[in-house]
Amino acid sequence: MSEFFAMGGYAFFIWMAYGMAALLIVLEIIAVRARAKRALFLARHSDAGVHREAAGAQLKEIQ
């Protein structure tokens, strides 16, 4: 089992690559959720006659 985790002496590079990939996936999920939240906010408020710029300013105030 320890040979598997050692990965033939390249464990540091391999595990760092897995870690970086996992981190980037998590960051992408966070970014997608933020974009979806903003899109929903703009869609809801554009029907009420609020311009996109004003809705964006309101969203910044909320955050």
| Tokens encoding 42 | 């703009």
* Amino acid in the structure at residue 4: F
| Tokens encoding 11 | 């464990």
Residue-averaged pLDDT of the chain? 83
DSSP 1: -
Q: What's the pLDDT tens digit per position in 10-30?
A: 889 999 999 999 999 999 999
The full length of the chain comes to: 63
Domains of the chain, by residue range, sit at: 16-62
Q: What's the pLDDT tens digit per position in 26-37?
A: 999 999 999 999
Residues 9, 23: Cα–Cα separation, whole Å: 23
